[in-house]
Amino acid sequence: MSEAMIQADGLVKIYKTKETEVLALQGLDLTVEEGELTALIGNSGSGKSTFLNMIGGLDRPSAGALVVGGKNLFTMTDKELVLYKRDTVGFVWQNNARNLFPYLSAVENIMLPMNLSSGHKKKQKALELLELVGMSHRKHSKLNMLSGGEQQRIAIAIALANSPKLLLADEPTGSVDSKTADYIFDLFTELNKSGQTILIVTHDIALSKKVKRVVAIRDGKISSERILKESYADRLKEASLDWRLEDTQEEYVIMDKAGRVQIPREMIQQLGIEGNKVMLEYHEGQIIIKNPNEK
């Protein structure tokens, strides 16, 4: 049995200003097992970036519980949080300017965050990581000499520099072409096969349809999960398959600990429901939701 890499229970985040309070997370529950490759999706403002920042140690929760890699993010001191961000999580940003220093070469960028004792060991591991992401030939190149896709591959190597338990990626294919996006996804898949736990935030439909587990956040809570159908699990590298059009996953609505579910908006619209009241009926093993205005 694998252990939970991420355990979030009733997670709440409130942002306060002088005039207002914004509830970014509203009791979010999520478990990600060690060794999983999971995608996180949701509309702008849904809370997914807030959640990712909390897991990355960049923001503090307001209430609830959050344990990552066996470490309780609620009880960490500032010093422990610095070590956590260095050793437990690796972060790949969509904006490559946040990943790489422009005045350093690729190999120097990878060596920079390393906590190994000697310079020789750092360089050796950096070269190994460049080989892993297929960028050995660019080891002396600086930021302005690299394409967007090349920068992103080096960013992944930087995120892996301290062998993190958890790799976080924020829109890793958001600024690259489809061919490079496929390469980056294949790289994540190979890393995952070797045991690396990965959580990706993405709007890339083709990428999300290839992932074995996709978690959707809506209004600060987990609303649904999509699980890759077994018939597609061995077809990830089929070039002829249009992943945007294929129905590759089964979708499940998530019920929280209080028995609440979020009904997809399109279904509410199809029912023509107005207001906040519906009728429930149990019939032959099924729960049926009805519009109370229909006779």
- Going 52 to 57 to 59 to 60, the CA torsion angle's sign is positive
Structural contact between residues 68 and 229, judged by C-beta atoms closer than 8 angstroms: no
CA distances, 294 to each of 3, 179, 272, 279, 291 (Å): 48, 50, 9, 10, 6
CA distances, 291 to each of 125, 254, 282, 294 (Å): 61, 21, 15, 6
Answer whether residue 177 shows pLDDT above 90: no
Mean pLDDT of the chain: 88
pTM attached to this predicted model: 0.88
Measured distance CA(250)–CA(229) in Å, rounded: 6
Answer whether residue 125 shows pLDDT above 60: yes
Answer whether residue 246 shows pLDDT above 80: yes
Mean pLDDT of 245-260: 87
Mean pLDDT of 218-241: 86
Least Cα distance to 73 among 5, 170, 169 occurs for 5
The string of pLDDT tens digits covering residues 62-82 is: 999 999 999 999 899 999 999
User: What is the domain partition of the chain in residue ranges?
Assistant: 34-58+78-265, 266-295
Answer whether residue 175 shows pLDDT above 90: no
Pick the CATH number of 34-58+78-265 from 3.40.50.300, 3.40.50.10210, 3.10.20.30, 3.30.70.260: 3.40.50.300
How is the beta sheet containing 63-68 ordered, strand by strand?
Answer: 21-33, 4-16, 63-68, 71-72
Give the pLDDT of residue 275.
83
Mean pLDDT of 257-277: 85
Least Cα distance to 29 among 68, 66, 73 occurs for 66
Which residues, in sequence order, are bridge partners of residue 168?
91, 199
Answer whether residue 117 shows pLDDT above 80: no
Asked which of 150-159, 208-217, 239-248 is least confident by mean pLDDT, the reply is: 239-248
Answer whether residue 216 shows pLDDT above 70: yes
Give the pLDDT of residue 267.
85
